[in-house]
Structure 1
């Protein structure tokens, strides 16, 4: 199952996504956002993959035995007034 999600980002959020994308050499914006979303969900324990699950051309975040992977945290941005 696939779905489409459209969102607006602040200039600071977009800059952070772009910086991460170039640092990780991600091919497209969509791949970058999917990977960041996967990492965030995995860090909170919401994303797991079954053993042997194949990726859909990107990456799969697998959490063995319910442990949390070591994923670098992204600093939270300040809310604009």
Structure 2
């Protein structure tokens, strides 16, 4: 991969996902969250082989389980607002 970074990618993370990135960052003594995310992306791309036969829904790509109901509106703990 090139070291030239001319594209910006915005990613929204939940509190648990951000904590997982920060834990990885500090465990591996990385200087920034961006560096940790780039490293995690590299690691993920090396082990993930695209296979159309094993395709998944986009909601399956989160780090943490959303349960059988999938995405819900409102407070995820109490499901208020649904």
- The TM tier, using the shorter chain, reads 0.5 to 0.7
4+ aligned runs moved over 4 Å, structure 1:
none
Of 59, 64, 70, which aligns to 1:77?
Answer: 64
3-state DSSP of counterpart to 1:25: coil
1:13 is aligned to 17
Runs of 5+ in structure 1 lacking a partner? Answer: 47-75
Counting only pairs closer than 5 Å after superposition, residues 39-78 of structure 1 correspond to structure 2 as 39-45=43-49, 76-78=63-65
Structure label with greater radius of gyration? 2
Runs of 5+ in structure 2 lacking a partner? Answer: 51-62, 73-82
RMSD: 1.9
Query: How many equivalent pairs are there?
Result: 52
